[in-house]
Copies of this chain bind each other. A is one copy, B any other.
Amino acid sequence: MKPTIYDIAKEAGVSIATVSHVINGKGKISKERREEIRRIMARMGYKPSMIASALTSKKTYALGLLVPDISNPFFAEIARAVEDEGQRYGYSVFICSTDNNDEKVERYAALLQQKKVDGVIIGTGMKEPSALEPLLRNGVPTVFLAREFPSVRVPTVVVNDYAGGAAAAQHLIELGHRRLGVLAEQDSISSSRERVRGFRQTAEAAGIWLDPALIISSGIKEGKVKALELLQRENRPTAIFCCNDLLAIGALQAAKGTGLSIPYDCSIVGFDDTVLASVTDPPLTTVAQPIEQMGQTVVQLLLRHIGQPGEPPERIVLPPVLSIRQSSSEPACDKR
C-alpha cells in the first residue's frame, strides 16, 4: 500500500511529529535526522496526502475560477494566466463554467465552499449577486475579475471598461463616422454596460447622438442574427462597436452574408483582443484587455486577501489599449 507518515516515522525510528516537521520545514530538527528522513521519504516514494493535511491545516491549495465559459477564448486565456500564477504559489485551479446563469453560479459557489477551496475568483456575470451567498456567508475569500457588483464589497481587478468604450468611440469618430451602432452583451453584465457608457458619452461629447434603435443587446450565440438586424435597418450604421470579439465576429459574418464589405461598407470594432482578433477577415480592430496581467494581478490580489482577510478591499484598474487592425476605416472609403 501507499506509505503514510506512520510508515516513514517507523522506518526512521522517529515520531510522526518529527516527520511532519521535516515535510513542512518547521521546528528544529538536527541536520542528520532531517536528511535521513528525506532519504527515506524519497526511497519509499512518499508524498504527503494533501487531503489529510488540509483537514488539519485548513489549507487545500485549491482555487475556484468562475467564468461564463472556458471554451470562450477570452476566458481560456484568462484561465491560463490564472493557472500559471496560481501554480507559482502552489495553488491548483478548478474550472467552473457558469454560462452567466445564476443557478449554476450558486451551485458552483456551494460546491467550492464544500471543497474548502482557499479562495475563489469570480469572472462571471450573474443577475443577482446573492448567487454568491454560499461563498460570502461562509467567509470564503473571494475576488472579482472584470466584473463588479457595487453591493458586494470584495477586492476587484477590472480593466477600465469605460475608457475602452471611449477609445473605440474616439477612434471611429476620428475616422469620420457619425452613425454608430452598438452590439452589447446582456444588460446584467457590468463590464458591458460600462463599455457602452464610455462609448456613448464620448460620442455625445463629440456631438453625436446614439440612436437607441442602433443599440442592441445580444448573447454570444445570437451575435450574427442581432448584427444582421442592425445592418438591415433602413439607415444602417457606418460603424459598429461590439462589446466582445465574438460578437464582432458575428457582425463580420453577418456583414459578409449580406454582401457588405468590411471596412468599406461598415467598420467593426471589437473588445478583448483574443487570438480570434488576429485571424479574422479582415483582422479585427479591437480594444485589447491585458489578459495575462489581469490573471496575474487577480491571483496576487486573492492571495493577499487570503493572507489578511481583514483589510479593506482593494480595487485595481488596468488600462485597455486600442489595437487597430483592418476592420475599421473611414466610412465608405475606397482604400481596398
Contact = CB atoms under 8 A, between A and B. Distances in A.
A73 interface: yes
Interface string A84-119: 100000001111110000000000001101111000
A142 to B, nearest CB: 16
Contacts of A110: 47
Contacts of A80: 69-71, 97
A135 to B, nearest CB: 12
A276 B62 CA distance: 31
Nearest to A58: B51
A52 interface: yes
A55 interface: yes
Nearest to A116: B51
A113 B132 CA distance: 30
A51 B77 CA distance: 30
A95 B95 contact: yes
A281 interface: yes
A45 interface: yes
A279 B60 contact: no
Contacts of A252: 279
A14 interface: no
A199 B74 CA distance: 33
20 contacts: A47-B114, A49-B114, A50-B115, A51-B60, A51-B115, A70-B80, A71-B76, A71-B77, A71-B79, A76-B76, A83-B97, A84-B97, A93-B94, A93-B95, A94-B95, A252-B279, A253-B279, A276-B279, A280-B280, A281-B282
Given A49-B114, A51-B54, A51-B60, 17 more contacts: A47-B110, A50-B116, A51-B115, A51-B116, A52-B55, A55-B55, A70-B79, A72-B76, A73-B73, A73-B76, A80-B97, A83-B97, A84-B97, A92-B94, A94-B95, A279-B280, A280-B280
